[in-house]
Amino acid sequence: MSDRTLLEVEDLHVSFATSRGAVRAVQGVSLTLNQGKTLGIVGESGSGKTVLSRAIMGLLPRSSTTQTGSVRYNGTEILNAPNDDLRKLWSTHIAMVFQDPMTSLNPVQRIGNQITEPLKIHLKLSKGEAKETALSLLMQVGIPSPVERYQAYPAQLSGGMRQRVMIAIALACAPRLLMADEPTTGLDVTVQAQILDLLGQLQHDRDMAMILVTHDLGVVATRTDEIIVMYAGNVVERAPTNVLFKSMAMPYTEALLKSTPRLANPSHTRLTAIEGRPPDLLHPPAGCPFSPRCPYAQEKCHRERPPLVEAAPGHSYACWFPLTAARPQEVTV
């Protein structure tokens, strides 16, 4: 695997114009992703994960959003690029597996047609070639009796099968980058493990980069090279996966981990809940966005927003009073 940079996002801002004002869903996010690597994006509901993913893909409606900053794919600026240019990138370079497979698959079109369509359009395959490729893709993503399923409609498949079909469609044109937005949310753990294994295997076979978006720290813990933690539209911590779990610095990351129930703990272990809820993106607080809920907040936190700084190579966080690396026993819950 090479260290070649595939994706560079710099100071990306996205806001939605609504009748109540501007919803600042993404507030200055920067990230880089090298070829073949996996980046995890974690955060709770509403933290901006999906908006960020869609902005990178160029899938947000131009009319109701303002998007500033920079998104470079292979060195080419693609933020606010003309739709025709973006269409050439989609499928063949960047593809996405969406959060809800039921709404992103066409309910009245057979599975087979949904996979062959991009093959015919982007790769200019003949009908026969496209069908052959589609069947092989269905096989690769672990769909039993692909010939029968090829003729099926989405509603005839289980949630896990639909997610596999979504993955088959996304992979059809051999993209270099796969954006997977909560690809296993709502699926059983057994099926989740199958899908995550499948993504990992395909990624390895194809040297494909992946952004894995999830609200579950467990999903990214063993399946990513680097993790970004988002809170209220901001990246609050970013580190190589092992570093993040060993020496997390941002109180929000710690709070997220401590509130997650774990199989390794005895039953009735008291969870550390985070009181309150995330801030309103219409009126974000002046200081640190986590300050109203942070157990370590000081006066400065309520006044001034901490910038995201790289404190150690590859490890950045936005916090005035970071947890020191010298308290690992607290970090491991």
Partner 1 sequence: MTDTAVEAEVVDTTEPLLSVEDLHVSFHKGSQTVQAVAGITFTIPRGETLGLVGESGCGKSTTGRAIVQVERATSGRILFGDTELTALSRGDLRTLRTQVQMIFQDPISSLNPRRRVSDIVAEPLNIWKIGTKEERKESASAMLDQVGIDPYLLGGRRPREFSGGQCQRISIARALVLKPKLLVCDEIVSALDVSVQAQILNLLEDLKQQYNLTILFIAHDLAVVKNVSDRVAVMYLGRLCEIAPSDLLYEAPAHHYTAALLASAVEPDPETARSSAALLGEPPSPINPPSGCRFRTRCPRAEPRCAEEVPEMRQIAPGHQVACHFPIGA
Ligand X SMILES: Nc1ncnc2c1ncn2[C@@H]1O[C@H](COP(=O)(O)OP(=O)(O)OP(=O)(O)O)[C@@H](O)[C@H]1O
35-54: contacts with Mg ion (CB under 5 A)? 49-50
> Using the rule CB under 8 A, which residue among 59, 86, 221, 325 binds partner 1?
221
If one asks whether residue 301 binds ligand SF4 (CB under 6 A), the answer comes out as yes
Among ligand SF4, partner 1, ligand X, none, residue 297 binds (CB under 5-8 Å by kind):
ligand SF4
290 binds ligand SF4 (CB under 6 A): yes
Partner whose binding site includes residue 265, from partner 1, Mg ion, ligand SF4, none (CB under 5 to 8 Å by kind): partner 1
Q: Is 139 exposed, middle or buried (0-12, 13-18, 19+ CB in 10 A)?
A: middle
For residues 98 and 150, which CB has a smaller minimum distance to Mg ion in the complex?
98
| 189 backbone dihedrals φ, ψ, rounded to 5° | -55, -35
Residue 256 binding result from ligand X, ligand SF4, partner 1, none, given CB thresholds of 5 to 8 Å by partner type = partner 1
d(CA 100, CA 78): 25
- If one counts every other C-beta atom within 10 angstroms of the C-beta of residue 114, the result is 19
Report the DSSP beta bridge partners of residue 136: none
**Of 39-47, 148-156, 194-202, 311-319, which part binds ligand X (CB under 6 A)?**
39-47
- Identify what 16 binds: ligand X, Mg ion, ligand SF4, none; CB under 5 to 8 Å per kind: ligand X
Stretch that binds ligand SF4, among 104-112, 159-167, 267-275, 286-294 (CB under 6 A): 286-294
Of residues 127, 54, 122, the one with CA closest to residue 92: 122
Nearest approach, Cβ of 232 to ligand SF4 (angstroms)? 11
Determine contact, residues 199/175, Cβ cutoff 8 Å: no
Q: Exposed e or buried b for every residue in 22-57, given b needs 16+ CB within 10 A?
A: ebbbbbbbbbebbbbbbbbbbbbebbbbbbbbbbbb
283 belongs to the binding site for partner 1 (CB under 8 A): no
Nearest to 88 by CA among 78, 98, 102: 78
Q: Which is nearer to partner 1, 174 or 271 (by Cβ)?
A: 271
Q: To the nearest whole angstrom, how small is the minimum distance from the Cβ of residue 291 to ligand SF4?
A: 4
Instruction: Retrieve residue 95's tokens.
Output: 């593809």
Here the tokens at position 232 are 């209220």
Do the Cβ atoms of 8 and 196 come closer than 8 Å?
no
The CB density around residue 237, as the number of other CB atoms within 10 Å, is 27
Residues at the interface with Mg ion (CB under 5 A): 49-50
Residues at the interface with ligand SF4 (CB under 6 A): 250-252, 288, 290-291, 294, 296-297, 301, 306, 319-321
Residues at the interface with partner 1 (CB under 8 A): 44-45, 142, 144, 158-161, 188-194, 196-197, 215-219, 221-223, 241-242, 245, 255-257, 259-275, 277, 332
